[in-house]
């Protein structure tokens, strides 16, 4: 994937959501621990906020098998907490950041916090 193109897509999604009167949120997520520098993560978070992202998840990459890219670093819980705070300071409305966070992590809570109603079959 191309980084600039991904940011453009997120921005287009936000414009679409805004044109529909809100209700939906633009969400993206990243995995850390594969060689990135902290400054790169913060830059990505800033770019995401500037391109309309409202919900961001940050989780620890875990190597699914020996054939996959290895974990290069396990991020400490305190650093995840710092990244969550930085995200809020950057204007991201909802940030989930932790070792086991995935894109669906606390999705129900995220939806309820913004006033969404649960599906009828739940």
What is the pTM (predicted TM-score) of this model? 0.84
Per-residue pLDDT tens digits for 70-80: 999 999 999 99
Residue 110 pLDDT grade (very low, low, confident, very high; cuts 50, 70, 90):
low
Q: Are 22 and 54 a contacting pair, CB within 8 Å?
A: no
Mutual angle of helices 38-50 and 3-19, in 10-degree steps: 30
Residue 23 pLDDT grade (very low, low, confident, very high; cuts 50, 70, 90):
confident
Mutual angle of helices 77-89 and 38-50, in 10-degree steps: 30
Average of per-residue pLDDT across 92-96? 95
Please list, in sequence order, all residues whose beta carbon lies within 8 angstroms of the beta carbon of residue 79, skipping any fewer than 6 positions away: 38
Is 120 inside a domain boundary? Answer: no
Residue span of the structural domain in which 107 resides:
3-113
Cα separation, 56 vs 64, in Å, equals 22
Is 48 inside a domain boundary? Answer: yes
Identify the three-state secondary structure at position 64.
coil
103: domain CATH number? 3.90.190
The total number of structural domains in the chain stands at 1
């Amino acid at each position: 994937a191309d980084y600039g193109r991904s940011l453009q897509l997120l921005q287009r999604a936000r414009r679409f959501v805004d044109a529909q009167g809100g209700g939906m949120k633009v969400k993206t997520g990243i995995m850390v621990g594969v060689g990135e520098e902290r400054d790169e993560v913060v830059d990505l978070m800033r770019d995401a906020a500037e391109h309309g992202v409202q919900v961001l998840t940050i989780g620890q990459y875990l190597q699914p098998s020996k054939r996959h890219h290895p974990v290069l670093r396990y991020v400490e819980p305190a650093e995840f907490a710092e990244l969550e705070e930085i995200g809020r300071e950057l204007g991201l409305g909802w940030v989930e950041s932790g070792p086991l966070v995935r894109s669906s992590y606390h999705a129900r809570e995220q939806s309820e916090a913004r006033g969404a109603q649960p599906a009828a079959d739940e």
